[in-house]
Amino acid sequence: MERLEEITAVILNTIANEKTGLSIVELAELTGIHRNVLAKYIKVLEAQGKIEISRVGAKKFIQLSHRVSVSFLKVFTTLPFFIFDRHLTAIDKNKEILELYELEHINSDMSDSQDRLLSIFLSDEVVPLLQDGIRGQRSHIDLETGTSKNPHSYFLTIIPVVFDNGRPGSALIIEDKSKEEEKRKKCDLIKNAYQELLENQVQFIVRFNRDYKIITTNTCFSEHTGIDEKLLTGSQFIPPYPEENFSNVINRMSSISKSDPVVTLDLRRINKNGDFSWERWKIKGIFDKKSGKFLEYLAIGIDITELKRTEQEFLHLKNNLETIIHTRTIELREVNNELNKEIFRREGIERELALTKFAIDSAHDLIFLLNSDGDIQYMNVRARENLNNLSGKTLNIRDILINDSRLGSKNLLTLTPNEMIDSGILTIKGSIHSTQGKDIPVEITMSRIIEQGEAVFCCIARDITDRTKIERDLYNYRKHLEQIIDERTSRLQKEIDEKKLLETECSQIKNNLILFTDNSLESVFIYDCDNEQYFDVNQTAETTFNIDRKNLEMIPELFSKVVCKNGKNLNHVINEKRTEFKLNSMISLRTIIQSEQLLEKEVIITLKSLELDYKKLLRIGVIDISETLSIS
């Protein structure tokens, strides 16, 4: 079975590659199949209707069949049709044939109804065409039937077909042109009425297809553009400039669908005056209600040039207004800032004045502000309390101040305030007669300031009644303080003497310690842990390690050259062991040391921590036991 399909495919592909028919000899050469075998396959393919054989003289030419399958025709043809075999016998039809019975006024229930219908369509011109269809030739013919009062016009299509068994046939497809003509007339009437309606509209109305080419327009749009309606037909509806506007419009148009068919656009176009005009269009996509297929666009528009100009003017005015508002806002902000600064400055001045007045009124002294003549312009609360009976009068400082004659000085009150300041007299003594009938001894300090070209004098009168008492109290306090100082000085001197005695004793103890360590066979090094330096060594250490007491800084360098038996230098060993013990504890270590100056010696190293004069010290002792071991 696979072999049969393979050979059949080879034969059909070979025939398909040739535009003209092939003879059986040529087909055998191209396919490589023997002629006898090829003849059998050709008969099968011809019977299946897949190929056709035409005769030219004595030769037969083979080509692919152009016939339509009867099954395909039944499924996809919606027009009435008859199917005939090679004997021109009607062997099949579709249900749409019933429409023809009504058109030709034939009762379909009659037994000979089909013969009567066929007699109408199988005329002398149609029969030969059906025979040609059986031979594979397609043809068309117009046919008119009926009376002159009620004629029917048909368009007949004869196509070659092939049956499922492979036999050839012919199909007669009948299309009623009367209905189409009637529909066309109705459409023309509707179109004319619609066009007349369009012409009466003051809006622009345009129909255009998927390619944005205009189908029809109304006169209003034609007059707006200055182009004849016939010239507008077939032209582009959407102007291609400016480019950014064109791209935006195309993107908006692509969003139209059956579910969302309407879009509103603003277009720029050159009008009949040669100027750019603005148009606002409401564009609707027209779709077939049944199939949903797109048909065309309908656009209704108006001229919005004036509106756009008004908008531009409005935007221009708005921008200018915003600029002015912005400028004024900045200016107002600056004025507000300056006003706030001035308010803050004045509030500060008022606060300072209030605090100054509060300080002046709270003062225990009598304070007066005078003019250049000595008239009192202002006095504080203390002054008003002492001069209450005179508060309603304009006073002069000379009226209330009495010169102190006991001081033996001349009467300074005969001078004006300016003369006193110019003479360098800033302080005077006198008395003020108070309302209680007693004189208050005061010391007056005077100062001057020039304010707005006028001299203002400030007089501060300090009550010195209690000064003697205060001086006496101060004298007593001073005597008491001197007594305390003498006691404290005696006590401190005693402590100093005791400290000197203690230092003397410590010095003796230190000398004894040095004497003891110097007479020892042990090399002793004293290390100051707080200052991290060597504090002292004994004579044995000086002799053994060749150390100068005046140059103890060389000890760390010397110890770094002394190597123990574990390979570490003496500094490293001492630092390791020093971290392992606490205060007043001792650690011993037996090892062998050697350096360039020292021969190899076996020693015992002792480390002891102690505290002396509030200092943390480390005593490092090195005892040479080499001779002792040799004697043993």
Is 283 buried (19+), middle (13-18) or exposed (0-12) by CB count in 10 A? buried
Encode pLDDT of 161-192 as tens digits.
Answer: 888 777 788 888 888 877 667 777 777 777 77
- Closest by CA to 155, choosing from 175, 171, 138, 170, is 175
Q: What is the CATH number of domain 201-303?
A: 3.30.450.20
**Predicted local confidence at residue 137, as pLDDT:** 81
**Predicted local confidence at residue 87, as pLDDT:** 85
Domain 2-64, architecture per CATH: Orthogonal Bundle (1.10)
DSSP 67: P
**Predicted local confidence at residue 406, as pLDDT:** 46
Question: How is 200-215 classified by DSSP, letter by letter?
Answer: T-SSEEEEE-TT-BEE
DSSP 260: S
Asked if 137 and 123 count as a contact pair (C-beta separation under 8 A), the reply is no
Residues contacting residue 552 through CB under 8 Å, at least 6 positions apart: 533, 534, 535, 536, 537
Cα-Cα-Cα-Cα dihedral sign, residues 47, 50, 55, 58: negative
Q: How far is CA 556 from CA 82, 238, 518, 561, in A?
A: 130, 101, 21, 9
**Predicted local confidence at residue 19, as pLDDT:** 66
What residues in the chain have per-residue pLDDT under 50? 148, 389, 406-409, 515-516
Domain 68-182, architecture per CATH: 2-Layer Sandwich (3.30)
Token pair for 243? 């480019």
H helices of 445-466, in order, are: none
**Element at 218 (helix H, strand E):** none
> How far is 220 from 231, CA to CA, in rounded Å?
15
Q: Is 2-64's fold the same as 363-465's?
A: no
Cα-Cα-Cα-Cα dihedral sign, residues 262, 265, 267, 272: positive
- Select from 3.30.70.20, 3.30.450.20, 3.10.580.10, 3.40.190.10 the CATH code of 520-631: 3.30.450.20
**Predicted local confidence at residue 407, as pLDDT:** 42
Determine whether domain 363-465 maps to CATH 3.40.50.970.
no
- Closest by CA to 92, choosing from 81, 107, 106, is 81
Domain limits, the chain: 2-64, 68-182, 201-303, 363-465, 520-631
**Predicted local confidence at residue 144, as pLDDT:** 81
Residues contacting residue 529 through CB under 8 Å, at least 6 positions apart: 609, 615, 616, 617, 618
- Closest by CA to 169, choosing from 72, 285, 303, 307, is 72
Asked if 70 and 87 count as a contact pair (C-beta separation under 8 A), the reply is no
Encode pLDDT of 270-323 as tens digits.
Answer: 777 777 788 889 999 989 887 888 889 989 888 888 888 888 888 888 888 888
